[in-house]
Structures are given as C-alpha cells and as structure tokens.
C-alpha cells in the first residue's frame, strides 16, 4: 500500500494549508487542532515560520523551517482532507491493488 504524496501546496491563513495529492484529491486542511497542542507546533505561531511550509521531496510530507523540524505526514493530511479513517484508506488501497 503506497501512501499518498503531496504534489502541490499553498500556505493559507495561520493553521490552514491547501494541498493536492498525487491521486488528484485536493483541498484545504485545517491544522489548528495540532497548533493548539503546543509543543513543536507552537513554532507555527510565528507568521514567517508558518509561511516556510514546503513539500519534502523524499516523503511527500509538508514541513516547516530549514531543517524540516516540524512536519506532518502526507497520510495524516490525506485522511483529514478526505474524511477517511486509516482502515477506510487501507481497504480502498487493497481493493485498488486487486483490480
């Protein structure tokens, strides 16, 4: 089962990004829940840091900063965007592999 891969990214208002995946799924993902947890995500409160979002070429994740110190895995973003659970995604991926 291959994980979805972010191929396009737009930084939106604080804590929201627009992403498009390699399968064509696209839309805005609200990351404010993660921002509210604090910890490493507290760096997002700096507007310049928030705007540093970029796609990590090797993984398709979205990361912030020069050292990719804060990142969000593409599968997590995909599940948030599509409203699927991990089990739904796994079932869909297995069904596609059988076809």
CATH of the domain at 67: 3.30.2020.10
Q: What is the pLDDT of residue 93?
A: 60
Instruction: Report the pLDDT value the prediction gives residue 92, as an integer from 0 to 100.
Output: 66
**Could you tell me the residue range of the domain that residue 94 belongs to?**
6-98
CB atoms within 10 A of CB 47: 9
Give the total residue count for the chain.
99
Give the model's pLDDT for residue 28. 97
The reply to whether 1 falls in a domain is no
pLDDT score, position 47: 94
Give the model's pLDDT for residue 2: 74
Rounded CA-CA distance 55/97 in Å is: 26
Q: Is 9 exposed, middle or buried (0-12, 13-18, 19+ CB in 10 A)?
A: middle
pLDDT along the chain (99 residues), means of 10: 88 95 96 91 93 94 88 94 87 52
């Amino acid at each position: 089962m291959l994980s979805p891969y972010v191929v396009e990214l737009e930084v939106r208002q604080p804590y929201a990004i627009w992403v498009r995946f390699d399968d064509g799924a696209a839309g805005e993902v609200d990351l404010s829940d993660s921002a509210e947890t604090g910890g490493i995500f507290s760096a997002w409160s700096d507007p310049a840091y928030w705007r540093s979002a970029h796609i990590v070429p090797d993984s398709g994740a979205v990361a912030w900063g020069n050292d990719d110190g804060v990142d969000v895995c593409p599968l997590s973003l995909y599940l948030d965007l599509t409203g699927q659970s991990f089990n739904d995604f796994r079932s869909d991926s297995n069904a596609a592999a059988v076809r």
